[in-house]
Structures are given as C-alpha cells and as structure tokens.
Structure 1
Amino acid sequence: MSSTNHDRPAAGELVPVKFSRLTRRGVLLGLSLTQLITLAMGGATLIGAFYAGGGMLLAYTAPIWVLAAALTWIPISGRPIVEWLPIACWWLWRTTGGQLLYRRRIVVPRPVGTLALPGDMARLREYTDPDTGAGMIHDPHSATLTVVCEVTHPAFVLLDPGEQERRVSSWGRVLATVCRSGRIATLQVLERTLPDSGTGLAEWWATHGTPDGSWAADTYAELIDRAGPAGERHATTLSLSLDMKTSARQIRTAGGGIRGAAAVLRQEMNTLVAALRSADLSPSGWLTPGQIAVMLRSAYDPAIAATLERHGRLGQSLATAGPVAVTETWGRLRTDSAQHAVLWVSEWPRSLVYPGFLSPVLLSTGIQRSFSLICTPMRSDAAARDIRKKKVEHISDQAQRAKIGQIEDASQTAEYHDVLQQEADLTAGHGILRYTGLVAVSASTVEELDAAVAAIEQAAIQASCETRLLVGQQAAAFTAAALPLCRKV
C-alpha cells in the first residue's frame, strides 16, 4: 500500500491513501506462462501443418490450434480458460480421492500434541511456552511457529480526524517493526463477530452487585444467569508466525529445537507488544492453548460459541477443538452447525480513500463473518531486488510493445507508477508487505448464507473494494480466513 498526498495536509487533517494495484502483467505482452505454453503448442501445430502441405492438414489440425487459441484468450469470470485447468484438475483429484469429506474418528486416539483439524492442518503441533504460558502452533512442514494475541481498541470511526491520523501513523510503525527483523513469516489481523454471550453483564453484577439475599437481588441474579446471547460483539486478534528457516542461526544459539524457536519468538512477541502499546492498542495477553481451542471450536461450530464463553473451562482442549464433520463443495463449506463461504478481496480501492474505508464491511450487523488481513513482510534487501526486477520488466515490456506498435494503456502505466511509489516508500524507511484480504461468511442455512454473502459483497462495493468467491478451494480458504493460524491460500 502506498499513500499519495496531493497537498500538504494541515495539522490534524486526515490524509487519504491509495493502494497499489494487483499486477496483471504477464511474462510476455500480458500473457502468463500457461498462456504462452498453450499458444506455443497451437502455433507449432499450425505452422507444422502449413509447411507440411497445408490444405487438408490445416483442416485436420484445426481442432488443436483453435482449441489452443480458445484456451488462451477466452475468459471465464475474468480469467482465461487455461488458468482454470489446474484448479479444475486439482478439484477432480480431490473428489476422486475422497478429500472433500472429513469425519472425525472418535474411537481412534490421536497422537499426543496434535490438533484435531482436517486436511493438511492435521500435521500441526501444539507447544506451551513455559515462560509466558502462551499456546504456540508448530507447522513442521512449513517450518513456522505461530502465537496469537488478543487486542482491544476504541472504535476507530468515532475518533476525531486528528486522532485517526495519529493512530494510522502509529500502526504504520508497528508494521515497519514487523518487517525490520526479517524473521517474521506472516502477521495476521483477524477481526470477527461473535454472538454476545452475556458474560459482560454477569461480570458487572459480580463486581458491582449486592447479593444480600433479598428477593430483588436473588431475582436479578437468576435473571442474569438465565440470560441468553443478545446482539453481537467484535473481537480482534493478531497472529505472529516465526519463520524457523530464516531464524535457524538464532534458534541454534537459543538451544535449538522447538524450545529455541520459542525463545526467538518471545523476542519478537516482546517487540510487537511494545510497538502495539506505543500505537495506543491494548494487547490483552498471549492466548493460552485453551483459549485458542475455543476460537477454533467456535469457528467450526458457531452455535456453541456463546456456551463455551459462558461456561469457563469447557472446550479448552486443542485435542478436541476441531470439527466433527466437514463437507466441501465447489463454492461452500459445511461444518458442524453452519454453512460457510469465503470471499477474496481481489481489488483494493484504486482511488484515494480515507483509513476508515472498510467500515461498511466491518460494521455490517446481523451477519456472522470473519475478516482476515494476512500480511507477508519482505526484508528490505529482498524488497529492493523485487522492485528492481519489476522496473526492468516494465521497461522491457514497454520497449517490446513499442517495437510491435502496441499502444500503452493506462493500467500498465499506473502499475509502473505503483512500483516507483513502493521504491520511494522503501527508501523513506517504510516496510513492504504483501496483503491478502479474506472474508469468511457463516450462516445456519444455505439460504441465509447466500443472503449474507450478497450483503457482504454490497458492503465491499460501498468500501470501493471488489470481492470474488474462492471456488474450488473453500476448505483451505476458510482455515486462512477464520482461524488465527497464519495459514495461506
């Protein structure tokens, strides 16, 4: 993301920002590698038939080169057909292999320390940090160690413009801190809506009430105890994932193994907490394994979320936190008590917007959803190399288009200016992050889910964003959007 200031803002004035565009530049002349391969196969067939005699050979080979041209240029939902082939083939492979269904094997014990989650998340391991008591999730395949922190903050939209601008600048310093060490693989910001369990009212009565045995006190206490969920509340968590490959030397210095990785991650945790407090955000502490288990269970089984929150120690075991059953379809996911659909924010605002532009999505009422912003930091040297590579590619593509007489369009020019702005931001000391926005929508029935998805899509339009339903990969997308595990799609 880069900001553009046309005029120097006055003190206390909120500054609009502009997002970098999603690059659509291909390997050559706007064509991707798969398009080039398909086009080369069709072209080779056409040229071979022409030089072999033409005539009937061109007619015989027409299905090949016509199909190649169709696969290369005909789009479906904004994407060429050839780019849908890997998704369709992978879906067919999973369908024939029975990987779209998950049923927990209740009578078969799981290995100690593993998470009862479906798919490739079954390999995740839990580790409790002895110093902080935080629950850490270890992915041995990706070599990452993840920890989760709950954060409280005032309502951003209710602050005055000067305070909003100050908090945006402070949050930018937090992101720059994450990028600086080069040891962080992913930072995930997860904002989710939960049914209000009534625990706030019960806690207030426990603190300020007068249980003197009178009829009024007993009646009031009984009423609070029987009160069910009312309304909804918002919860925000930050997940920090340590790249154990990049931090291998520091891990060996700290003693090696998972203990050494936990020691290195603790350093990053302390740095992040200090940065959050300087940004006037209030970290509520690193979540224990039991608290993480409640979050996982609530994501797969929303109907039980309020009960788990009201009844203390229930459900606080990662060994049983996963779903009992999962069924994945092309565009939806069915878990224990809900239907889910995941939307990808494919386009961020292209024009200047103010920092609270996501309010229509985040403040939508009556919809159970989770908004996940997955930030992948890049080291300054790697970011500089990537920017130089993009500049060279843009300049070479521009020269190639000029040779063949192709006109330069505005989108290509805008992408090049985005690269230049990223280079200027990097030179000014800002961090470079790659953002992925995902919205997981949940409902009890398919009809309610379709209505909620339509409402979120409309809210995204009001926020100047474009969303697309992630078809053929709903299970992986749900784990990335609704679970605080720093997963990627």
Structure 2
Amino acid sequence: MSSSDDTPSTQLVPVKFSRLTRRGILLGLSLAQLITLGVALGTVVVAVYAGGGMLVAYTAPIWAASIALTWIPIAGRPLVEWLPVGFWWLWRSTGEQVLYRRRIVQPRPEGTLALPGDMARLREYTDPDTGACMIHDPHGQTLTAMLEVSHPAFILLDPSEQERRVTSWGRVLATACRSGHIATLQILERTLSDSGTGLAEWWDRHGTHDDSWASTTYGELIERAGPAGERHATTISLALNMRTAARQIRTAGGGVKGAANVLRQEMGTLTTALRSADLHPSGWLKAGDMAVILRSAYDPAVAAALERHGSIGRELATAGPVAVTETWGGLRTDSAHHTVLWISEWPRSLVYPGFLAPLALSTGIQRSLSLLYTPLRSDIAARDIRKKKVEYISDATQRARIGQIEDAAQAAEYHDVLQQESELTAGHGVLRYSGLISVSAPSEPELEAAVAAIEQAAIQASCETRRLVGQQAQAFTAAALPLARTI
C-alpha cells in the first residue's frame, strides 16, 4: 500500500489494494516446499542407483511423505508450512507456556507491566515534558506512545468531503515514511460498553432535579439505559525504532530519555498532520489511561465500571490479567473468550473509501479492529521493488522455458509491483500493512456466533478473514492492545 499526496478532487475516487503475494522461490514453490521436494527426489535417485526397484519400494515412506508435505494443502497452505506452527505450539504447550497465572503475593519490579508472555519485558516511562506514558521494549528496541483520536462520522459526509479527508489521511501516513525512524504505526478501533458517564454528566448539569414524576422517571431511565449503550474509541500508536534513530538518540542524550526526546518530535509531527486532516487528537495517553485500556481488554466485564469510577484501576502494575489460557484457536482471559482473525485478503476490485463500514459499524459485538502499518524508507523500498521485479521476470522466463502457462494472478502481482515503483518514483511513501480483528464474548457459544457475524461483515466489506491458530496470545496483543506489537 502506498500513501498519496495528490490534490483532492470533488468526486470520490475508488482505490485498489495490492494482492498478497503468493510467489515462491522457484516455479511458485516456497523454500520449505523446495527442501521437501528435494528430499523426495534425492531419496528416489539414491534408491534407484543403489538397489533398484526394491529399494525404491522400501524408501516409499520417505519420498511419499515428502511429496505429501510438498503438495497437500490444508486451509490454503501446503502441509510443510504448517510444520513450524505445529512444532512451536507443541513446544509451548508441553512447556506450559500457554498458561499464565498472576503471582499475587510476589511483587513485580517497579516500572514493569503486569502482562503475560514476552510482554513481561515491557517497561513504562513517563515523559516529563508531555506527561505521556511511553512503553519501552528493551529487546525489540522500540519506544511507543499512544494517542486517542476523535473524528466525525465518515459515511455521513458528502463525497467531495470524503475524498478530501482521504487525501488528508494519505498525507498523515506519508509523514510516517519520511523520517525513517518509525517502526510501526497502529490504528486501533474498539467497541466498548458505554458506561453512561457522559449522559449522566449532562443530566447533572442541565437536568431539572426536582421531585416531579418526569424528573424521577428520566433520572431512572438514564441510570438504567446509559450502561447498556455502546461506543467506539480510536487510538493511534507510534513506535520509534531505536536502532535506526540511534544517532539522533545519542545527540538527544542517549538511553530511553534521549529516545523519548526523539519520539516527542515525531509525536508533534503526527499531531500536526492529524489536525490538518480534520481529526481531533484528545491528548497522548497517560499511565492511568493506558492501564484502563489494558484492563478492559483482558477483563471486559469491568470496563464500564472502570470508566464510571475514574479513580480506580489506573495503575499499570495491576492492569494485566489474573489468568490467561491459550488454546489452538482461541484465548481465555479473566471474564471473556477471545479469537483473533487475520484479514488475509483485501478487496481485489476497485472499492470506495468507507468499504470497511460493515466491520467498523457492527453492533452488538465486542471487537477490536487493528491496522498495523510498517513504513519503509525510500531506499529500502526501492531495493525491495527491484528485487521483486527481478524475481518475477526470472520466474516468467523459467515458466516460458518449460512451457508453463502464465497465470493471471502472477501478472496482477507484477502489475502491483510496477504500480508501487511508479508511486515511489513520484515521491509517495510505501507502507506494509496488515489487519487484525479481535472478537470477544462472555462464553464460547456467544464467541462463535460473534465470529460468524464478523466473518459475514468482512464478506460484505469485500475482505477475506482467517482465524489465526497456534499463536492466539501473540495475535491478541497485536489486535486488542495499543502497543504497536506485530506478529
């Protein structure tokens, strides 16, 4: 996907997404397939020269299993590509790494987050200038800040205004590509149970508080109906790559403090770009706000209570889950069951902005929609595009040599590469993007019903979703938490 800086037009312009490349190293075969196919051919050749037909029959389990691993597909992927997932899951499950129970008595080190898995290494840092809570990953060498954003209803705007806002959003994405210091940009849109705080505050300020029947009835209605509502919250997470920004960090003082100074500059640039796109930044999240988001993701049952009583649940040291159990295709936390879906195919035909409305506006389902953007520097993007072009041309020459018919999907992928090259030459930024959807429900039957509804909504949005297996815990952190994590 590439960001655009074109002048906005008065008509809504459809867009087209690049296809997910499925090209292999040789003749459409991946490295794992080539290895297993080589094992099969090598076994047959050695058997023929060593002992003839009988030895070929004796070695049949080896070369037959290798051929099966190479060609038999499961859920659209060759069987050999499932081996790393299966072995990784087996190793984690036998080592009890799919279970997490918080140690209540043992205190956690100061500044750490009470999160399971590899997120236990994350550290909290409060920027003294902005008061923003920054999350430092010492292993991944990233520093992340989160911004809450409010925006008007996009689908209610007229086409010319929608086109203008789309172009402005393209400029926002382009700002993330120019510095070369941004590791990940995450847009997280969540549905939350409305606590009714806003409605109750309005009634307290503007309502007529007397003993009349109308006043009493209206007050009871607000008290009961407020928490039953639903609202949407959007955050943008900005992760600084401390490796690529090492020189600037040393100039700013070094360490996490120097990284915070560099990240603060990127935060100011992003805030300015968002305001120019008619988006309304509500301020960079502080430690208490971050704690409420983390606690609400793992324990949705208390989300409304945490928002209604702003003085509780605002400590990052206790914001994590009490218990987590990961299964092959799901996740069980304090008060909910979760499943993460991957948007494996974006629309292949021309679509208009707002095509994700069936997913974003789904009601009655607790879900989080996370879009992860990885900006590429122009030199890295150009080198990657040149490499892809050489590989496509080499594959086409090899297929023509053996008489294989050219596939339309391969031609479409090559056209996408040429389109990216032309846009990069025109000065636009190149981003790699992925979409994840986390679906939550109080019980497994309700979760399956919610997943079916989300899958149907994805079909209406011209997208294809697949349930991630063997990595649900890691996928949940990327899909439901504003930490700019990738999988």
- Quickly name the TM-score band, shorter chain normalised: over 0.9
Give the match for residue 138 of structure 2. Answer: 140
Give the match for residue 445 of structure 1. Answer: 443
How far off its partner does 1:449 sit? 0.3
Give the alignment's TM-score, normalised by structure 1: 0.96
Inter-CA distance 206–133: structure 2 relative to 1 (3 Å threshold) = farther
Runs of 4 or more consecutive aligned structure 1 residues displaced over 6 Å after TM superposition: 212-219
Alignment counterpart, residue 415 of structure 1, candidates 394, 413, 416: 413
Q: What SS class does the counterpart of residue 52 from structure 1 fall into? A: helix
Alignment counterpart, residue 22 of structure 1, candidates 20, 23, 47: 20
Give the match for residue 404 of structure 2. Answer: 406
Stretches of structure 2 lacking an aligned partner (at least 5 in a row):
none
Q: What SS class does the counterpart of residue 375 from structure 2 fall into? A: strand
Contact 1:2–1:421 (CA under 8 A) maintained in structure 2? no
1:342 maps onto 2:378 in alignment? no
Give the match for residue 354 of structure 2. Answer: 356
1:185-217 Cα distance to aligned partner (Å, 9 max, x none): 000000010011101112212433455798976
Give the alignment's TM-score, normalised by structure 2: 0.97
Inter-CA distance 82–11: structure 2 relative to 1 (3 Å threshold) = closer
Amino acid at match of 2:264: R
Residues in 2 aligned to 1:213 and 1:364: alpha-carbon distance in whole angstroms: 40
Give the match for residue 479 of structure 1. Answer: 477
Residues in 2 aligned to 1:57 and 1:451: alpha-carbon distance in whole angstroms: 54
1:335-377 Cα distance to aligned partner (Å, 9 max, x none): 0000000000000000000011101111111100000000000
Contact 2:177–2:376 (CA under 8 A) maintained in structure 1? yes
Give the match for residue 250 of structure 2. Answer: 252
Give the match for residue 74 of structure 1. Answer: 72
1:126-180 Cα distance to aligned partner (Å, 9 max, x none): 0110000000000000000000000000011111000000000000000001110
Contact 1:2–1:17 (CA under 8 A) maintained in structure 2? no
1:288-334 Cα distance to aligned partner (Å, 9 max, x none): 01000000000000000000000011100100000000001011100
Residues in 2 aligned to 1:275 and 1:74: alpha-carbon distance in whole angstroms: 49
Amino acid at match of 1:191: E
Alignment counterpart, residue 45 of structure 1, candidates 38, 43, 46: 43
Give the match for residue 455 of structure 1. Answer: 453
Q: What SS class does the counterpart of residue 228 from structure 2 fall into? A: coil
Contact 1:3–1:17 (CA under 8 A) maintained in structure 2? no
1:264 maps onto 2:262 in alignment? yes
1:198-238 Cα distance to aligned partner (Å, 9 max, x none): 01112212433455798976776676556651220000000
Residues in 2 aligned to 1:320 and 1:9: alpha-carbon distance in whole angstroms: 48
Residues in 1 aligned to 2:344 and 2:410: alpha-carbon distance in whole angstroms: 18
Residues in 2 aligned to 1:123 and 1:326: alpha-carbon distance in whole angstroms: 17
Give the match for residue 208 of structure 1. Answer: 206
How far off its partner does 1:85 sit? 0.4
1:160 maps onto 2:141 in alignment? no
How far off its partner does 1:12 sit? 1.6
Residues in 2 aligned to 1:128 and 1:363: alpha-carbon distance in whole angstroms: 34
Q: CA-atom RMSD, angstroms?
A: 1.9
Q: What SS class does the counterpart of residue 168 from structure 2 fall into? A: helix
Residues in 2 aligned to 1:458 and 1:329: alpha-carbon distance in whole angstroms: 24
Q: Percent identity?
A: 77
Amino acid at match of 2:119: M
Amino acid at match of 1:170: S
1:27-52 Cα distance to aligned partner (Å, 9 max, x none): 11101011111111111111001111
Alignment counterpart, residue 12 of structure 1, candidates 4, 10, 13: 10
Give the match for residue 149 of structure 2. Answer: 151
Give the match for residue 117 of structure 1. Answer: 115
Stretches of structure 1 lacking an aligned partner (at least 5 in a row):
none
